[in-house]
Chain A
Amino acid sequence: MNSKDSKDTLRSSAMTANLIKKGLKKRYRTERLFQSIGLIAIILGLAAVLFLFTSIVGKGYGAFQQTYILLTVDFDKDLIDPSGDRDLDSISQANYGVMVKESLRNQFPDAKKRKDKRLVYRLVSSGAVFQLRELVMSNHKVIGQKLDVWVPADDDIDMLIKGHIDRSLPESDRRVSDKQIYFIDKLIQAKRLKKRFNTTFFSAGDSREPELAGIGGAAVGTMFTIFVTLLLAFPLGIFSAIYLEEFAPRNRWTDLIEVNINNLAAVPSIVFGLLGLSVFLNFFHLPRSAPVVGGLVLALMTLPTIIIAGRAALQSVPPSVREAALGIGASAIQTTFHHIVPLAMPGMLTGSIIGMARAIGETAPLLMIGMVAFIVDIPKGFTDPSTVLPVQIFLWLDSPERAFVERSSAAIMVLLTFLILINGLAAVLRRRYERRW
């Protein structure tokens, strides 16, 4: 035995235990420090999220209510249908504005001066006219009757009621004059002014007037666009991942492909928008602002993410499964599709859903292909011009009217809810499939 051996044997177990004990304190302290840092990081992250949510919800919850004013409207037969034959043209072209103004004048008999009358007319939304027209067109029985109709108030009135306009400011600093405030208070006393649930926000398309604007058009546009994206990106992505992982040879070319796919996943999304503009719009002349083109652009953007997630899921399948399948004489295709893909599917689905969630929130590439236009109608098909929810939010944030501030925040809430639901779905699917086998 050499001297080194003898030194080691001299150190008894008790001495070793002592040495270890001395080091333990420091190790535990380091561990506790680590845990604290982790906890602090989580708390900071949660605080940031909480702050974000409270500020958005705080700004946006008001948008789910809209101030309405009760008008007593005389659906004068002479104005609407003078010939009495229920001619649709004359009904639709009747002057409903006159009826609105008359109803308001009746409401406020002491507004005699021209200036005061103008203030009174501005109490209700310009959309009241169209609302009355829709009412008569859909129900001819009202012609000749006097009815109470709830019409939306103008957005400035709405902001006043919701407390966003400071009554104590001097009149020149306010958008609502003292006289108007007097009229409004009278309406409130007469119980002719109420806040109701803002269904317009969900059903209507975009509008210059905030009280008439809604996310209906943008929501439908988003649905069409995402449908196209899903239809293209999911099958292509999954099958590419399967081919690259299971069947492609391992050589320089496939390495190059892998590097390129990884790079594409990190390319800024606006570049895909430029691609869409130059190729899909200018070269193939696809319809501008259509969900088809938006879907194509987003599909290209999501494809690398789905491929990468798919390959990772396939790689995580234990090799023993492949060996067992091959050993029993399954062909390469049978091994892949009967055994490997079912096991990898939860991971593939989760990755794809997360990729789709990212696509739903994309704005920049869709701006490039024109889904930023002011579109009032709800799109009916994949080639109709439309916009998507993130772009709608972007447009509203640009508008000067104060009422759009709360509406943008409400739209953000809707988008976030949708994203949370999608990610929740991904988590549920993952848990459910992992439990099975």
Chain B
Amino acid sequence: MSAPDSNIGVTFPRDHRETVGQIEHPNFKIRCRDLNVFYGENQAIFDVSLDIGSNEVIAMIGPSGCGKSTLIRCFNRMNDTINGCRVDGSIEMDGEDVNSNEIDVVLLRARVGMVFQKPNPFPKSIYENVAYGPRIHGLTNGKEELDSAVESSLLRAGLWDEVADRLDEPGTGLSGGQQQRLCIARAISINPEVILMDEPCSALDPIATARIEELIDELKRNYSIAIVTHSMQQAARVSQRTAYFHLGYLIEVGETEKIFTNPSHQLTEDYITGRFG
């Protein structure tokens, strides 16, 4: 065993695997219970139970390969696209199990949006990128409504001023930070209820990152946001709750301030003090 621990608030040792802290949220949007995820023979997530609250930002932190991305991809069933991925357990949203056969996956993904780690705008014009969602889901009537939907999404994503005069140019011609904001605009164009963000700023410079963090803060007024991040500073800046994962286990969850100043689990303390990860 290593040197005696300095933080007297830590009460759970390194080998304790039951989740520490309050997994429930009084006003939950997504309720996940006893989730186990397998990639073929390998198990990636072990008995994870967690609530995502409405209108909150919950950050998921942890070292690489600990299952954070796998977990949020379960919420909008993006893991369906991976061959050999098996999901056991229940994920409840609005009274229905997300994994049941009666659920319409297309509708689910319209209600639970996703922003990926590497910006992936469609190889179409900026306008088309944002207009595609409302168009296929039939959210607008006629060109004027679509135009204003595009404009409002780009405004909320903080991109409108920069692209208003060149909406016909390819989305892939923008800078990295602009592309990611375009992807966020695309995600919010269909007014989802939850936005899942998988390390959205990891490929961006600090200024672009700061703009997106501002944006997340505004977005939480209307949406529930789960953000996976490698940066503890980012988690501390944008989230209300934080969940710490380790090798597929949810180690500790709680208010962001508490997690970063006074964690209860030794592994959490190790991670945030930089002892590993």
What is the interface of chain B, defined by CB distance below 8 A to chain A?
A: 76, 78, 81, 83, 106-110, 113-114, 116, 118, 120-124, 132-133, 136-137, 170, 172, 183, 186-187, 190
Give the distance in Å from the alpha carbon of A350 to the alpha carbon of B107 in the complex. 37
**Chain A residues whose CB sits within 8 angstroms of the CB of B110 once the complex forms:** 328-329
**Chain B residues whose CB sits within 8 angstroms of the CB of A323 once the complex forms:** 78, 81, 116, 120
Give the distance in Å from the alpha carbon of A327 to the alpha carbon of B119 in the complex. 13
CB–CB B109/A437 < 8 A: no
CB-contact partner of A328 in B83, B113, B118, B123, under 8 A:
B113
- Also in contact, A327 and B113, with CB within 8 A (given A321-B122, A437-B172): yes
- Minimal Cβ-Cβ distance residue in A for B109: A329
Nearest CB on A from B128, distance (A): 10
Tell which of A35-43, A65-73, A330-338, A371-379 binds the partner: A330-338
Task: State the total of A-B contacts with C-beta under 8 angstroms.
Answer: 60
Is A250 an interface residue when CB atoms closer than 8 A count as contact? yes
**Chain A residues whose CB sits within 8 angstroms of the CB of B113 once the complex forms:** 327-328
CB–CB B132/A338 < 8 A: yes
Is A105 an interface residue when CB atoms closer than 8 A count as contact? no
- Minimal Cβ-Cβ distance residue in A for B183: A324
**Chain A residues whose CB sits within 8 angstroms of the CB of B186 once the complex forms:** 324, 328
Q: Would you give 24 A-B contacts (Cβ < 8 Å), ordered by A?
A: A250-B83, A320-B120, A321-B122, A322-B81, A323-B116, A324-B116, A324-B122, A324-B183, A326-B81, A327-B76, A327-B113, A327-B114, A327-B116, A328-B110, A328-B136, A329-B109, A329-B110, A329-B133, A329-B136, A331-B106, A338-B132, A343-B123, A437-B123, A437-B172
Give the distance in Å from the alpha carbon of A298 to the alpha carbon of B35 in the complex. 55
Give the distance in Å from the alpha carbon of A67 to the alpha carbon of B120 in the complex. 67
CB-contact partner of B133 in A322, A328, A331, A343, under 8 A:
A328
- The DSSP consensus for interface residues of chain A is helix
Give the distance in Å from the alpha carbon of A250 to the alpha carbon of B83 in the complex. 9
**Chain A residues whose CB sits within 8 angstroms of the CB of B133 once the complex forms:** 328-329
What is the interface of chain A, defined by CB distance below 8 A to chain B?
A: 250, 320-331, 334, 338-339, 343, 437
**Chain A residues whose CB sits within 8 angstroms of the CB of B106 once the complex forms:** 329-331
**Chain B residues whose CB sits within 8 angstroms of the CB of A322 once the complex forms:** 81
- Minimal Cβ-Cβ distance residue in B for A334: B136
CB–CB A324/B137 < 8 A: no
CB–CB B122/A339 < 8 A: yes
CB–CB B116/A328 < 8 A: no
Nearest CB on B from A132, distance (A): 65
- Minimal Cβ-Cβ distance residue in B for A343: B123
- Known contacts A328-B187, A330-B132, then 15 further A-B pairs from the complex at CB < 8 Å, ordered by chain A residue: A321-B120, A321-B123, A323-B116, A323-B120, A324-B116, A324-B120, A324-B121, A324-B122, A326-B81, A328-B109, A329-B137, A330-B136, A343-B123, A437-B123, A437-B172
**Chain B residues whose CB sits within 8 angstroms of the CB of A338 once the complex forms:** 132, 136
Q: Which of B108, B120, B121, B172 has the most CB of A within 10 A?
A: B120
- Minimal Cβ-Cβ distance residue in B for A329: B110
Give the distance in Å from the alpha carbon of A323 to the alpha carbon of B132 in the complex. 14
Nearest CB on B from A24, distance (A): 36
- Also in contact, A328 and B132, with CB within 8 A (given A323-B116, A437-B123): yes
Give the distance in Å from the alpha carbon of A47 to the alpha carbon of B186 in the complex. 55
CB–CB B172/A327 < 8 A: no
Nearest CB on A from B93, distance (A): 15
Nearest CB on A from B200, distance (A): 13
Nearest CB on A from B121, distance (A): 7
Give the distance in Å from the alpha carbon of A343 to the alpha carbon of B122 in the complex. 10
